[in-house]
Amino acid sequence: MASSSHRRPRPERRTRRVPVVTVVAVAAVALVVSLVVAFRPDGGSETGADGGARTVEPAAGSGVSGSPTATGATGSPSPKPKPSTASPSATAGRASTPAATPAGKSGSSSGRSAAPAARTASGAAPSAGRIAPGTSYRGVATSYDAGDGNGACSYGPTSDVMTAAMNTADYETSKACGAYVLVRAGSGASITVRITNECPAPCEVGQLDLSRQAFAKLAPLSAGRIPVTWSLLSPATSDTVSIRYKTGSTQYWCGIQAIGHRNPLARLEVRTSAGWTRLARTDYNYFLSEQGTGCGGALRLTDIYGEQLTVEGIAVRADVVQSTRVQFARH
């Protein structure tokens, strides 16, 4: 507002008398006009650009924040005994890391999370993780030199060449270890492999790094990288589950490993005076009892379908494979 020194002087107000009758007539007309306006059907509403009445309402969703953005793990995987390394031809020129996609679904849908939920029959596998039965996943297959067959799952050397390394996301802190997976190529060729290793980045979500012998059953090694679909199996087997205590295990500290289970293992527990205690799982496929709780006692194994096997009489004998003579049911 301007200061008083810059104000223009008001013009002198001149008044004149108006007859009383005139004033009364004007007031009456004004009253009639105001009543007409007040009782119009659209009286008091806001008028839009097209001349029609428009009611102003609050914006939908006001005050609600947007959904958070899903982020993946950014830490580097812990060192493994022998992680696989995808062949150079398999990773060269990779522009992005696509999400694992259940077969039959397009991978180009916007807004899909990095790890789509598996579609399983109700109650089929209550303890299943990222890899669920009854679901066909789409990904790629590469190959690597499996050497003596040992890998991140710590099973040790093996003569079985039909093996594979699972990408870190689907490896899921060794939960994929021991899983049997049916892999199908676009040509129609298929092969069953057992997961014995982990394939860290640049392996993608959904990717399987097959032993060279297994890859050759699907395509020439020169292909380097091929699209595949894969799914979890619960195979027929005559093997039974075995238990191995980790090197250095005693009654005061121990690491326990299950070997030869038909279905992926969901958890391992030890029996204590307070009941069953679940042990923490490592990414090298051992369950640790840091304080020695339950070492040398009864064990309880649970597969992803919820079946439980109780094992007695397994003594703490480091690095010795001990048979249990029990096995999970086939599904």
The tens digit of pLDDT for each residue in 281-292 reads 999 999 999 999
Given CA atoms 4, 7, 10, 11 in this order, what sign does their dihedral have?
positive
Q: State residue 222's pLDDT score.
A: 98
pLDDT at 302 over 90: yes
> Where is pLDDT greater, at 6 or 293?
293
> Where is pLDDT greater, at 88 or 323?
323
Instruction: For residue range 27-78, list pLDDT tens digits in order.
Output: 554 554 444 444 444 443 333 333 333 333 333 333 323 333 333 333 333 3
Q: Which residues pair with 241 in a beta bridge?
A: none
Confidence at 188, pLDDT banded by 50, 70, 90:
very high
At residue 37, the 3 state secondary structure works out as: helix
Q: State residue 219's pLDDT score.
A: 98
Say how far apart CA 35 and CA 261 lie, in whole Å.
Answer: 88
If DSSP states are collapsed to H, E and C, what string results for 153-179? CCCCCCCCCCEEEEEHHHHCCCCCCCC
Closest CA to 262 of 305, 294, 209: 305
pLDDT at 7 over 50: no
Q: Which region among 14-23, 56-65, 260-269, 295-304 has the lowest average model confidence (pLDDT)? A: 56-65
Q: State residue 85's pLDDT score.
A: 64
**H or E element: which one contains 196?**
strand 190-199
Say how far apart CA 202 and CA 212 lie, in whole Å.
Answer: 18
pLDDT at 158 over 90: yes
Strand arrangement, sheet containing 287-289: 280-281, 287-289, 254-259, 242-245, 321-323
**H or E element: which one contains 116?**
none
Instruction: For residue range 234-280, list pLDDT tens digits in order.
Output: 999 999 999 999 999 999 999 999 999 999 999 999 999 999 999 99
Given CA atoms 58, 63, 67, 71 in this order, what sign does their dihedral have?
positive
Q: Nearest 5 degrees, angle CA 235-CA 239-CA 243? A: 115
Q: Which residue has the tokens 């990222």?
A: 130
For residue 58, what are the CA distances in angstroms to 55, 61, 62?
10, 9, 7
Q: State residue 84's pLDDT score.
A: 77
As a residue count, the chain comes to: 331
What amino acid occupies position 237? T
Say how far apart CA 225 and CA 94 lie, in whole Å.
Answer: 11
**H or E element: which one contains 190?**
strand 190-199
Say how far apart CA 197 and CA 152 lie, in whole Å.
Answer: 5
Q: Which residues contact 215 (CB under 8 A, 6 or more apart)?
A: 141, 142, 143, 221
Q: State residue 102's pLDDT score.
A: 54
Tokens of 87: 């062949």
Q: What is the mean pLDDT of residues 221-241?
A: 97
Q: State residue 64's pLDDT score.
A: 29
What amino acid occupies position 155? Y
Instruction: For residue range 98-156, list pLDDT tens digits in order.
Output: 345 455 443 333 333 333 333 333 346 899 999 999 999 999 999 999 999 999 999 99
Q: Which region among 30-34, 55-59, 169-173, 296-300 has the lowest average model confidence (pLDDT)? A: 55-59
Instruction: Count other C-beta atoms under 10 Å from residue 108's C-beta.
Output: 8
